[in-house]
Amino acid sequence: MTPATFLAPFILFGLAACAQPAPPGPPPDATATASLSTPPALPSRLVVSVLNFEDRTRAPELAWLRKGLADMLITDLSRAGGLHVVQRERLEHLFREQALHAGGRVEDRTAVAIGRLTGATVLLQGSAIRAGDVLRIDAHLLDVERGMVLGAASVEGGLNEALALEKQLAARVLEILRPDAVSRRRPASDASMTPSQEAAGAMYEGVEAADRGNVPEALAQFESAL
């Protein structure tokens, strides 16, 4: 018997042993799996800074949404108990002081820096998108200290429903930030106190002109809004 013939059974036995499936490991930690789907904990102190929205509509008649959505959200979120909201004027002053561009997309790193400068713990960024006759508004909430997304909200409707969509968005943002308070106090939506969308557009075009220092244009837009 040659050495190869003698060793063949042992080699085959060794290969068969290697081919056996490995014994099953311990089951995955259910707690760890569940934690992946659990939203991050909110900061203990909620100070919200709302940045101007990114206008992706490419529609001149909707350009006012950039500042208008942010301003209306500041007003609605300020009505909720337990939230501190940085006022728009403070943000505008900061943008000018830091020579930052107040419109368009703000990178997360810059957004976190802005949040810290305003004393915010939560930053709200958003965008408005048009698809045919549909307007979609998206927003996400960023934890300033940890640099992580706390939650996101989205609403959509007709192009002439921007004011109603903003109210819906404010309610959904509150569901993320203050779920215990939403049932008790929602953003005001009294139809008798809601301006027309055309008037709102003219008003925020005036705000934009005023922020640029163009007083005559701002006055003309405010008069048009009235």
pLDDT of residue 122: 92
Cα separation of 124 and 34, whole Å?
27
Question: Within 10 A of 161 (CB to CB), how many other CB atoms are there?
Answer: 15
Q: Is the pLDDT of residue 135 over 80?
A: yes
Residue-wise pLDDT tens digits, 186-198:
444 444 455 689 9
Q: What is the pTM of this model?
A: 0.73
Contact 204, 71 (CB under 8 A): yes
Residue-wise pLDDT tens digits, 26-82:
444 433 333 345 667 888 889 999 989 999 999 999 999 999 999 999 999 998 878
Residue-wise pLDDT tens digits, 155-171:
999 999 999 999 999 99
Which has the higher per-residue pLDDT, 105 or 23?
105
Q: Is the pLDDT of residue 214 over 80?
A: yes
Cα separation of 40 and 70, whole Å?
24
